Amino acid sequence: MIVREIDWRDPVAGFAPWAGEPFAALLDSAAEGDARSRWSYLAVEPFRTIVAGPDGVSVDGAVVDGDPFTVLERELARTGAPRTAGPAPFGGGAVGFLGYGLGRHLERLPCRHANDLGIPEMAFGLYDVVVTFDHRERRGWITSLGGVARLEMVAQRLGTASLVPPTQANGTWRADLTRAEYERRVGQVLDYIQAGDIFQANFTGRFIAERPAGVSGFDLYRRLRALSPAPFAAYAACGPRLTLASASPERFLRLSADGAVETRPIKGTLPRGATAEEDAANAAALASSVKDRAENLMIVDLMRNDLGRVARTGSVTVPSLCAVESFASVHHLVSVVEAELRPAVGPVDLLRATFPGGSITGAPKIRAMEIIDELEACQRGPYCGALAWIGFDGAMDSAILIRTLVVTPERIAAHAGGGIVSDSVPALEYEEMLVKVAPLLGTLDSGGMPS
């Protein structure tokens, strides 16, 4: 590995030269001053691409044998581990997303909805050059596993970086489900819970807008970042038809090269207050909410079970349960589950054991996903999947793709929802969904809040 230190700069500005390219990602610790935000990465100019779509999995445009997980694992193994450690946890590897629907490659699950946005279900680039920024130390580096020439090429383009204000974005959102229909379907989830089918399901809705002319996905990301800075934020171009602009607050899986795993499921939400007193009261109410704590505990148990498939016996622990964490627009209850992987188990094995995340499915997981498919109005697509980097050394970090705009050449989609448990109230669930989706809808100037 070749490492060159560079001057600190705003990672968003540094990414600008690559913002219009079909495979480029900014993994952005956007919550400045937040202890959860340290590393930002620019993954640019991949040497290989992997895309899963309706015709199968392709590598550099050619269809290959294998399911998406197998192909991703195989392509990572072809490159191997870096020779030396870099200055940050990630110094080269795969960056991309896994759509929620990839769960069908792991379990027998229904899919009654069409892919109405015409987008892939997985897309990764493999990157041998990464630009890293350390927010804590205000330092930066370029690391290259592809030699000096590759490093110099990226360094030269980085030197041309300049940023202009985002383009004005006017548009109108429409909901796939009216308020009355959303609440009715939450009531159907409650019927399933009352009947003993499930304990919890994560029910969600979608808002759609036509993409304004001249507005890029990077424009939308910068607008979202200003409204809702988040520790696991990201902008990712995933081929010619898909861009993800994410302000995710939720880590899915973090894996060290020596096999230590952490997941941080979120369940439980209240809005930030308008005053310091109201804000503190909302945080205290969330901490003491029996309903939200029960919701969180169910998912902790689910994640403990999923991790137990690949973890060393006795290594799964819960060092933090139902802690209140505060973000730009909401307070959340967040728990931490840790484990140690068994020997010869790698990052893709860990994904197979746990994907999709329990916080955005429900418990029991498979039955909850069947009910989600029955009652939701559309495919989730990337939403509720994961955005991840996977190092050539076997390390990984990933975020649940919530609080995320899904951007195509024609349209923009914004999803939100919440966990439904036995004492959920449909009207309150709808209001919670609106709190979560508000920053996404706010990225369009005249969007307003759909009725």
From CA 281, how far away is CA 273, in angstroms rounded?
8
Contact criterion met (CB below 8 Å) for 373 and 113: yes
For 29, list phi and psi in degrees, rounded to 5.
-75, 80
**292 is written with which tokens?**
């939200």
**In whole angstroms, what is the distance from residue 107 CA to residue 189 CA?**
21
The one catalytic residue in 45, 73, 250, 370 is: 250
For residue 189, which of 437, 362, 30 has the smallest C-alpha distance? 362
Neighbours of 62 (CB within 10 A): 7
Owner of token pair 């870096």:
82
Query: What region does 220 belong to: left with phi over 0, alpha with psi -120 to 50, or beta?
Result: alpha
SS3 68: helix
Which residue intervals of 48-139 are DSSP H helices? 68-79
Please give the C-alpha separations between residue 74 and each of 243, 364, 387, 392, in angstroms, as whole numbers: 25, 31, 19, 11
Q: Is 374 a catalytic site residue? A: no
Which residues sit opposite 201 in a β-bridge?
A: 362, 420
**Token output for 5:** 């230190």
Q: Which of 45, 73, 75, 267 is catalytic?
A: 267
Q: Which residues contact 412 (CB under 8 A, 6 or more apart)?
A: 171, 208, 209, 210, 211, 220, 405, 406, 443, 444
DSSP at 349: H
436 an active-site residue? no
| Residues classed as catalytic | 250, 267
